[in-house]
Structure 1
Amino acid sequence: MSGFIHIQTISDIFKLFRLEDVVHHPLVAVIDFSKVTEHISDGTKISAGHYTVLFKDFNTSVKYGRKIVDFQDGSLICMAPNQVIEMDDDTESTEGMAGWGLFFHPDLIRGTALNDRMKDYSFFSYETSEALHLSEKEKQILLDCMLKIQTELQENIDVHSQAIIVSTIELLLNYCSRFYGRQFITRKSSNNNVVAQVEKILTAHFTGNATGEKKLITVKDLAEQVHLSPGYLSDLLKKETGKNTQDHIHIHLIEAAKNILLSTNMPVGEIAYSLGFDYPQYFNKLFKQKTGKTPLEFRSMN
């Protein structure tokens, strides 16, 4: 099969992998890829209406946006509903495939504490190139969580089933947060290069703004320039510097504003426009929030 596939329901997952005969829960599924015989053709684009956590131990690539990414052995990716990936399968058959997939519909967690916490699991917004690379011990910990969910799905459904499944999913996601934290630490050298890139880009950008460039750089702009997703970049910077991407942008912006205020007689409105603000009042508000003074108060006191 090829083209575009949108997996709307959990049942659609079982149809995709030709597992229709398997009895399944309507809102959550665990798939053992070693038992999957259906081959997904190169170029197939897939999106889903649910959260997806994929761990694999077979060679394949996926295309996310314009990037071709080697989804390496022993790596894990998490995708939020409606993200799109493109398969580029370099296996000649499904023989020897190994790994698992956890799929859960937003309705499963709606009204639970986990639903409120999902925004904290920022790795669901990472690109596939920012996959979590697991140690053997970490693989086993996540597998144990998966087996607990699978066991619960095979039991007779009772009043405790949803709470147990949801709490185990939350446990798995908490482990993913911990393991991503470890990955940020073990990749400190490459992370430091990213921090240096960010500083260089922002310095050049706001030097340009001081001479009249009228575009306020966004988190998305900055992430694209360092070839990372906005979520991953923000988490990386937070881990390395204690400040997220927006904080870094604001630091450089305020420094540029201070330099212009003290070295020129430009009206505050013109300074705001030169820095990329469409409305001077937004600049005034941000400047006071960050410095405790209005731009005019800062100028008059220095």
Structure 2
Amino acid sequence: MAEKIPYYNNLSESFQSADIPVLNPDFELIKFEDIPNESKLFKQPFRLNAFIAALVTDGSFTLNINSQVYHLERGNMYFTAPWHIRHYHEIKNWKGYIIFFTPQYVFQQKPARTITTEFPFYQAESGLTTKLNEQQISSFEQLFTDMQGVLRSDNPDRYKMLFHYTNILLFNAKAATSGSYTVTKGNETVVSQFMNLLNGYFIELNKGNIKEELTLKAVAEGMHLHPNYLSNLLKDQTGKSASQIIRERVGLEAQALLKNTNMTVAEVAYYLQFTDTSNFAKFFKNVTGFSPSGFRESLREKV
């Protein structure tokens, strides 16, 4: 099979590939301009088991998140989650700040709620970017600078302090991005758990730990709910049935693989646990309106 997208379980693994020293495998804050130009990390798509919040203060670059392409410059903030495929390219004198923190870091500090429930922009299937005004840029830049000072200090409680700083930053970002995403109301715990299980499936698939098709029955069993009850509940909360959400999520993964790898259509179908290429092609056409090869051709036409 053609190359799989690298998956880094923690910051130590990913930063080692980028030749960047890391103090903590679960939390780091660095400047874009301090990342070596020759870093291997940015020469190919990858997944990283970390949430990211970043501010661009100068320069520009292009960032692919799953199948979505973002052209980022001064004033842009962006947010990605562990299940996102990321690919940085066309980097031109970029400057700014980027925070990495793993789910483990969040759990150690605050086990009661999930990060995606607290900050819904991390639920976005293809990440989220927003454009700040100059006053907001200045405010966020000062906050990132303060956090970097705490991180590089000798304070024994610096990671506990940084957790609170991170929450302040994210709550401010939540206000700045209000209206850029849909907030799920009602039974958020079930919806969030369902989405986390879907995203976890693709992470484990990427790591080679799963050899079964993603099904509603399997997800429902993981949540200890009857499939019909789960589907009706999701329909009430999101307007979509569980099966529809699963199909859309598999479709998004297929698009991301077709865009970010050289895997053949047959290899993508096999990777996603389809029985044969024709079934995958029929599924993909039904979900996206394109054949797999047509989708790739449409991407080439946009370049």
Could you say which TM-score interval applies, normalised by the shorter chain?
A: 0.5 to 0.7
Does the 8 Å contact 1:52/1:102 carry over to 2? yes
Question: Residue 49 of structure 1 aligns with which residue?
Answer: 49
Instruction: Please tell me the root mean square deviation across aligned C-alpha atoms, in Å.
Output: 3.5
Measure how far apart 1:128 and its partner are. Answer: 5.1
Does the 8 Å contact 1:55/1:101 carry over to 2? yes
Measure how far apart 1:80 and its partner are. Answer: 1.6
Q: State the identity %.
A: 12
Does the 8 Å contact 1:69/1:128 carry over to 2? no
CA deviations 1:71-106 (Å, max 9, x no partner) are 34321111121211233x224xx6x22111100122
TM-score of the pair, normalised by structure 1: 0.53
Match for residue 106 of structure 2 among 84, 106, 109: 109
CA deviations 1:108-147 (Å, max 9, x no partner) are 2215347626212011122557411111221222222222
Kindly indicate whether residue 134 of structure 2 is the aligned counterpart of residue 136 of structure 1.
Answer: yes
- CA change 1:66–1:107 in 2 (3 A) is closer
Measure how far apart 1:64 and its partner are. Answer: 2.9
Amino acid at match of 1:172: L
* Bigger radius of gyration among the two: 1
CA deviations 1:171-205 (Å, max 9, x no partner) are 00010011112xx3xxxxxxxxxxxxxxxxxxxxx
- CA change 1:149–1:114 in 2 (3 A) is farther
Kindly tell me the number of residue pairs found equivalent between the two proteins. 189
Counterparts of residues 73-88 of structure 1 (less than 5 Å): 73-87=74-88
CA deviations 1:150-191 (Å, max 9, x no partner) are 112212241x3232111000000010011112xx3xxxxxxx
Counterparts of residues 136-285 of structure 1 (less than 5 Å): 136-158=134-156, 160-181=157-178, 184=179, 233-235=181-183
The separation in 2 between residues aligned to 1:134 and 1:114, in whole angstroms, is 31
- CA change 1:279–1:70 in 2 (3 A) is same
Measure how far apart 1:279 and its partner are. Answer: 6.9
Question: What secondary structure sits across from 2:59 in the alignment?
Answer: coil
Measure how far apart 1:32 and its partner are. Answer: 0.7
Structure with larger RCO (C-alpha < 8 A, sep 6+) = 2
Does the 8 Å contact 1:17/1:38 carry over to 2? no
Unaligned stretches of 5+ residues in structure 1: 185-231, 239-243, 245-277, 288-302
The separation in 2 between residues aligned to 1:114 and 1:140, in whole angstroms, is 32
Unaligned stretches of 5+ residues in structure 2: 189-226, 237-303
TM-score of the pair, normalised by structure 2: 0.53
- CA change 1:36–1:43 in 2 (3 A) is closer
- CA change 1:54–1:16 in 2 (3 A) is farther
Kindly indicate whether residue 11 of structure 2 is the aligned counterpart of residue 10 of structure 1.
Answer: yes
Does the 8 Å contact 2:61/2:94 carry over to 1? no
The separation in 2 between residues aligned to 1:129 and 1:166, in whole angstroms, is 22
Question: Residue 23 of structure 2 aligns with which residue?
Answer: 24
Question: What secondary structure sits across from 2:20 in the alignment?
Answer: coil
- CA change 1:128–1:140 in 2 (3 A) is farther
